Structure 1
Amino acid sequence: MQLLAAKFAQIATAIDATNAQIAALQAKLSELQEHQQQLLSVEQACQSAIAQIGTALSMLNHVDPSEIGTFKAAVDAQFGTDAIAFLEPATPTPAETIEPEPTAPIAPEPVTEPEIEPAIDVEVTVTDTPATDAPIKPATPATDIEGKLNKLSIQSIRKLASAKGIDAKGTRAAIAGRLKAIVTNADLRAIG
């Protein structure tokens, strides 16, 4: 009987070790799935931002093509700001190396992937054309927009900056400086 008791203890130890390895692998799987979901969210946000830039560029080309350079400079400035330096990149946690003990192979259970909804592309059509045959008014100069931005409350200007995907931190003048190249009078009326 003692021979069988020792064998049962040996098998129980092997089962416990395998269960510990399975738990560690499941934790790693969850971590990787979470990271994959974060990457998907970033991808969707980037695609949305690119689509919004395309829409804004099209609108600007329609309203005042001479301001396209200013718009490009504002977009380029986002990549050169100190705000990016303050962002902390994700630091992956070092995974523990798990050395499995040699055991007899066991057929794995099928793993079902979580269902991920596909991204939906939305095309925005903006019409600023008056419904009447009245003459089209010339575009408002950027200085007028900057003046209107500076008259907004700090809460309103931060809300507008967030809506436009611009950094909403800083003074009213700093935020207005970032917004003046991309905000239209329609945006200001919507906030007002």
Structure 2
Amino acid sequence: MLLVVLDLAGIAVFAISGALAGVRARLDAFGIAVIGVTTALGGGIIRDVLLGAQPPTSLRDWRYLLVPIVTSLAVFWLHPQFAKLRRGVLLADAVGLGLFTVSGTATALAYGAPSYTACLIGMTAGIGGGALRDVLLREIPMVLRKEIYALAALAGGVVVVVGARLGFPAVPTAVAGAALIVTIRLIALWRRWNAPTARGIGT
């Protein structure tokens, strides 16, 4: 039940992020819904494919498709109100990253994946939907840019794995992992932390 709740919560906030990106790209209602659903479900589908879960969870449970569709259409109709909440959208994206990463990591552990594999799958689940969104919108994926994004997801995945291996309760461990991801992500945005980039390009 915990994994389902985390999944659906992450799906909703990522759908908001994707749908708003579609609004900024001036897509129509269908395009916005497609971008929202892709952002919301992409990471989970990648996770399930890597774990051999066939068909993916989002194709077996109607709630996984209904939530992002309804959320994306709500953003389409109410986007002026959502657009004013830029900080709220950044927070939603950070929360979505945290929820999806800990859910993906916990799911990988439940499938018996080794610790390092679970961390990588959790990170991939967290960043996968956003990467697909950016590719569809012809942008360089955020994870490949300077911002601290994937590293935050990986840190949270490590917390989940360590907590599971030490026998800590699942809920507090998941909350701690997600909180760490959100904290790192928001501090990175606030302090404008960036990963190193190559120097002297074009000179």
TM-score range, shorter chain: under 0.3
Q: TM-score, normalised by structure 2?
A: 0.26
More helix as a share of residues:
2
- The structure with more radius of gyration: 1
TM-score by length of 1: 0.27
